[in-house]
Amino acid sequence: MTARPPVVDQDTWRTALEDLRRREKAATRELDAIAAERRRLPMVELPEYVLTGADGPVRLADVFAGKSQLITYHHMWSDGAQWQCGGCTGFTSQFTRLDFLDNYDARFVIVTNGPIDEALAYRDRVGNAMQWYSAAGTGFGADVDAAPGEGFAVNVFMRDGDKVYRTWHTNGRGTEQLSSSFALIDLLPWGRQEEWLDSPAGWPSRPTYSGWLDSPDIARLYGKGSAQ
């Protein structure tokens, strides 16, 4: 039988919850402090890059679509593959509405190192709702720590007229702060149920990533011809 949390009386439960709440609030204050430091980061000017969008070549400065701030998610890519990275596909499928960024003078898009025709076809196949751009044939991916054949990355940029500046970057688990799915799963008593976790004895555990939806799952749920 799979283990479960111990059953206690109401007062014992509330005391344990308040103990944890103090740590949660401390973590929130630390995240606020980190965000304050992020707002004080310097930035570096970038050369002019020309990416490719659905309508053809587009300068990086124009990817901002008139906004002053831009977030990019660099989607891992293998040219010619039917299914791209399941982690990237699942992660970006969360972002079904980004209009709230308009009030913050910002935009969030996907950039990939793959050919734009393949990228747009894949976007439709998996039902992705974001705007996609290709950096194929440019040095943009390598210059923002997401070169062809390498991993995914999040970058943030600021525009001043035609000049673009890089302000922030993360990769690996640093991208989890953008995810709603991990935040929800981590609230559950059994959590992510992955083998690397520090969980009580008897908690369900399985290989890392094995609970994630893969690209074909995303396509079945959200792609063209799905029930959505």
* Residue 133 contacts residue 63 (beta carbons within 8 Å): yes
What's this model's pTM, rounded to 2 decimal places? 0.94
Is residue 219 in some structural domain?
no
Strand-strand pairing, 153-160 and 56-59: unpaired
* Residue 163 contacts residue 181 (beta carbons within 8 Å): no
Helix (H, G, I), strand (E, B) or coil at 100: helix
* pLDDT beyond 90 at 49: yes
CATH assignment at residue 61? 3.40.30.10
Is residue 6 in some structural domain?
no
- DSSP one-letter code for 92: H
State the average pLDDT over residues 35-64: 98
pLDDT score for 83: 97
Is residue 220 in some structural domain?
no
Is residue 138 in some structural domain?
yes
Secondary structure (DSSP) of 164-200: EEEEEEE-GGGGGGG-HHHHHHHHSTTTT-BTTS---
Is residue 122 in some structural domain?
yes
- pLDDT band at 2; cut points 50, 70, 90: confident
pLDDT score for 224: 82
Owning domain of residue 106: 43-198
State the average pLDDT over residues 189-206: 96
pLDDT score for 228: 55
Instruction: Summarize pLDDT for 54-83 with one digit per residue, the tens.
Output: 999 999 999 999 999 999 999 999 999 999
In which order are the strands placed within the sheet that holds 106-112? 44-45, 163-170, 153-160, 69-75, 106-112, 132-134, 50-53, 56-59
pLDDT score for 227: 54
Instruction: Summarize pLDDT for 138-168 with one digit per residue, the tens.
Output: 999 999 999 999 999 999 999 999 999 999 9
Which residues, in sequence order, are CB contacts of 102 under 8 Å at separation 6+? none
- pLDDT band at 1; cut points 50, 70, 90: confident
**Please, which residues bridge with residue 107 across strands?**
70
Instruction: Summarize pLDDT for 7-21 with one digit per residue, the tens.
Output: 999 999 999 999 999
Number of structural domains, the chain?
1
Percent over 70 (pLDDT), the chain: 98
Burial class (CB in 10 A: 0-12, 13-18, 19+), 138: middle
Is residue 129 in some structural domain?
yes
Instruction: Summarize pLDDT for 112-143 with one digit per residue, the tens.
Output: 999 999 999 999 999 999 999 999 999 999 99
Strand-strand pairing, 50-53 and 56-59: antiparallel
Helix (H, G, I), strand (E, B) or coil at 86: helix
State the average pLDDT over residues 92-99: 96
Is residue 31 in some structural domain?
no
* pLDDT beyond 90 at 187: yes
* Residue 153 contacts residue 87 (beta carbons within 8 Å): no
The two tokens of residue 49 are 């890059």
Cα–Cα distance, 151 to 53 (Å, whole number)? 21
pLDDT score for 182: 94
Is residue 65 in some structural domain?
yes
State the average pLDDT over residues 95-107: 97
Torsions phi, psi of 51, nearest 5?
A: -95, -175
